Structure 1
């Protein structure tokens, strides 16, 4: 079993998948601190994202200041100079060759389904154009699954695939740990939560929805291998953990809906609990984007939860009327244009909210802490990052759930 787990977590499996899909590395140039990094046993000493050392064993030779290494029939070159203990640094952008444009486009689009841009557009679009109930369900499950996944990464501290031999197409989250893949977790949770919840609200063919949920989840998971950001084990565990969480929580979704909408304590718990979880997020010995991303997700969840509670109190939930599940209206050009208009107006309001509140909250928090808002290191401190990101995305959740539909009424878009 241990051999199987090692194989599934290995970088060579990821590199092999990339090559099978037509993604190949070109000459990669690395910079090491001293020529002493070339050992007599043919190992190159490098440094992981968490600062720990590991050895890449190759058939390596030092010649003219360059370490030439060969691994599985692919050649890599490591440039050596005299920097003082700088570890391993890329001296030029990663280079790669794409020999299958279809897979390249397919997997990059699939990878985008787990990004902030997708969340801030798809989830609200469900609220504006289909059913606020479904958006509320999706946000609740998404927040729980993502929080657990992000915490597991920083507790387990398992590294991402090594480059080389893997080609890495993303850089922003490379300092994060790999296990589990939160892209795979989010895609599985959103796809199957939508499938299970929509059957209560909308008439559709369940088998078609099931196939779509499986295909979307699989594409997002495979995209993490293609982009070189996760091992096969990371992705498999992401699928399994997310499926387990959805399955275990499914019987309690209706009870939670009732408490979320009708309990007098709901808005307080919806804000205090996520904020507490953000401040008690596991500490690392280096900066990672996981805490900030988790704060964003929990902030959105808090704002939406309070907003839906307010709508319930005001008696205007904007949910479909009549017996459920309702039949989907026929797709007409007028209906399509109205839907596009709602999306553009709604997204514009969210972007404006994000830019305004982010600008103001960052400056207020930095002023209170005696820091400059232009200082990148200051913005990464917990007592600055958490409050300004949480307030920004809580505001986005409130605007999405309370204000946007009322603007649609004024503009006669509903």
Structure 2
């Protein structure tokens, strides 16, 4: 069993996948004779005459030539390159802050609520397991690393794979009772999107096969074990007077009991972001329900998808534009104010660029910032759309 785990964690499998997809690491032929011999048919003679700079395994390598620097990789299939980079972006903050609210504004708030709940749970478990298990990402060389932000994070499990699986199949399982659609097509779309995100983690060199497989399996286990209780969770979240207290208390507790590392990693800040969004949306959903603002699709449920007319597209575009402006404005305002308050409290100068990495600053500012984003999304934005006649 351990031999199988070691094999699936081998970075050479990831490098082989990258080469099959047209992404090649620039390598010196005499630096590794065996690998140069294996890849001789795939790499040009010009590539084989270049050398590695000595850098740590989590950094992006650069090749120095004639006093300058060039990227350490060559792309030979630009279609796959763009496809996998876009797919990798489906697991980043930009996607979450655009896709999830769009579902609430233009499709069904019920689906958004389910998505936020499952996304927060799955992502928290994934982030926590990374910092408990502490398994490294694939090393470079032989792997080409196309992302730098998460280089200090551990690898197993892949939270991109976890979130893609959770989002795709939460929508599929939840939408069957709300919207009329052909289940087979929905299943095909869910499998395709989650598979593209998983494969993108190999292409970008950020995860081993073991990381991605474990991410998918853990996410599937969480979905299967919680699915029977989704209706009960919805009812408690919207109707119980204890719901806001549970949401706030639980997320704060999870924030401050998160595993500590001996070095800085983006997992802690990202976890505070996730918990902040989850807490803000949960409290917001409860408040919105108490105020009678919870919306449902028009007509009988499951409802037909609304026709894609020019007017519907225009209103959807206006909702997306105004909604994103509200969320990004909230994010920037609350982030600035919270950092000013924390810097003042801890007597940190504005010029101290590393201060926001300190635990006592990073955790509260990210949690408060994204809790505010969640509150604005779940309470104020839809009410603004009603006043403007966009719903």
| SS of aligned partner of 2:176 | helix
1:48 aligns to what?
A: none
Kindly report which structure 2 residues correspond to 1:163-178, keeping only aligned pairs within 5 A, or say none.
Answer: 163-178=140-155
Contact 2:161 / 2:216 at 8 angstroms: preserved in 1? yes
Q: Is the 8 A contact 1:94 1:168 kept in 2?
A: no
Tell me how large the CA RMSD over aligned residues is. Answer: 1.7
Normalising by the residue count of structure 1, what TM-score does the alignment of the two structures yield? 0.87
User: Higher strand fraction: Structure 1 or Structure 2?
Assistant: 1
Contact kept? 1:203, 1:325, Cα under 8 Å: yes
- Does 1:287 find its partner at 2:264? yes
Q: Are positions 1:77 and 2:54 aligned together? A: no
What is the rounded CA distance, in whole Å, between the counterparts of 1:221 and 1:264 in structure 2? Answer: 40
1:52 paired residue number: none
Deviations 1:207-240 (A, max 9, x none): 1000110111110000000000000110011110
Equivalence for 1:326: 303
Higher share of residues assigned helix: 2
The residue number in structure 2 matching 1:22 is 22
Q: How many pairs were matched up? A: 372
- Alpha carbons of structure 1 residues 297 and 79: separation in structure 2 relative to 1, 3 Å: closer
Q: Deviations over 1:37-93 (max 9, x none)?
A: xxxxxxxxxxxxxxxxxxxxxx97xxxxxxx4445116573457xxxxx97775656
After TM superposition, the score normalised by the length of structure 2 is: 0.92
* Structure-2 residue corresponding to 1:121: 98
The farther-off stretch of 313-322 and 287-296 is: 313-322
Q: 1:152 to 1:333 in 2, by over 3 A?
A: same
Runs of 4 or more above 6 Å deviation: 86-89
Offset of residue 94 of structure 1? 4.3
Task: Call closer, same or farther: CA 1:272–1:94 in 2, change over 3 Å.
Answer: farther
1:140-179 to structure 2, matched below 5 A, reads 140-179=117-156
| CA positional deviation for 1:6 | 1.2
**What's 1:103 paired with?**
80
Distance in 2 (CA, whole Å) between partners of 1:299 and 1:185 is: 19
2:177 partner SS: helix
- Of the three residues 273, 283, 304, the one matched with 1:306 is 283
Deviations 1:109-159 (A, max 9, x none): 100000000000000000000011110000000000000000000000000
